[in-house]
A and B are shown apart, each in its own frame.
Chain A
Amino acid sequence: MSDQTTTIKDATAVDLVYDRAVISQLIDTILGLAEQQGFGASSIFAVRLAIEEAITNAFEHGHEGLDPSLSIRVEYAVTPKIIEVAVQDQGPGFSPEALPDPTLIENLSKPSGRGVMLMRAYMTHVNFNPSGNRVKLQYVHPD
């Protein structure tokens, strides 16, 4: 289920199982399109990081305790103005607002819990669907 805040118009959709080579290939495809549309190195760095975090979260946390062969869905659309990527898992979802702030002194030594904050730091907009099993990343061209 997607809602309006996480829908992407005219998106290309790909279903992925956890295969690192295929994941890397898909990310390279999206970033290749972004380069063709005029996005520069710092934009590419930011978007790669955010997509990596979203896909990792989907498999590691979204599907935690579920069948490891479950697939996730990645949708993307790239224009000269904006890169949009949505990642949806088949898990029950989570509440991103409930995540502890990983930058607080008491949380700095915890090894996990930074993925969502990095997505928010690097993307122009990050929206989750109400059930929290789908995230849409939007990166608007900086010019």
Chain B
Amino acid sequence: MTDSRLKISNNDGVTLVEFVDRNILDEANIQAITEEITAVIEQADVPKILISFSNVDHLSSAALGALITINNKIREKKGAFHLANIDPQIYEVFVITRLNKLFNIHETADEAQAAFAN
């Protein structure tokens, strides 16, 4: 059992997920992160997940793949998924891959939190 690379908290029914690491590149870590968030999704009737990238400097396409897998699982349960605090350089990766069209991306966690009420 490895230590979690995530900080998970609950705020008004929304699960806030933050990363411990600045780089989300390592395949093994990405797999572990996916499994940990999947467990949160499976425990919820209607999952509401907010991922904040406030500490993140780099991510890879494998990390994008993990976000897509998480998004697909949340949609299967009719839940809501929002992303926030994405560094401009990383946001460009979302734009290049057009994943900014797939995900609900907000500048701040507060804005994302408010979006769950809509």
Contacts and interface: CB of A to CB of B under 8 A. Distances in A.
A123 B64 CA distance: 19
B61 A114 contact: yes
Question: SS class of chain B's interface: helix, strand, loop or mixed?
Answer: helix
A110 interface: yes
A73 to B, nearest CB: 19
A102 interface: yes
B114 to A, nearest CB: 25
A36 B17 CA distance: 36
Given A110-B68, A114-B65, A103 B60 contact: no
B25 interface: yes
A111 B66 contact: yes
Given A20-B26, A49-B93, A114 B101 contact: no
A112 interface: yes
Interface in A83-117: 102-103, 108-112, 114-115, 117
A121 B96 contact: yes
Given A111-B65, A111-B69, A48 B97 contact: no
B60 A56 contact: yes
B72 interface: yes
Interface residues of A, number: 22
Contacts of B26: 20
Interface in A7-45: 20, 24, 42, 45
B28 interface: yes
Size class of the contact patch on chain B: 20 to 34
A109 B97 contact: no
A114 B68 CA distance: 12
A42 B65 contact: no
B20 interface: no
Given A108-B101, A108-B102, A109-B71, A118 B28 contact: no
Contacts of B99: 108
B62 A45 contact: no
Contact of B89 (A24, A45, A115, A118): A45
A121 B93 CA distance: 9
B106 interface: no
A21 to B, nearest CB: 10
B97 A103 contact: yes
Contacts of B96: 117-118, 121
B97 A112 contact: no
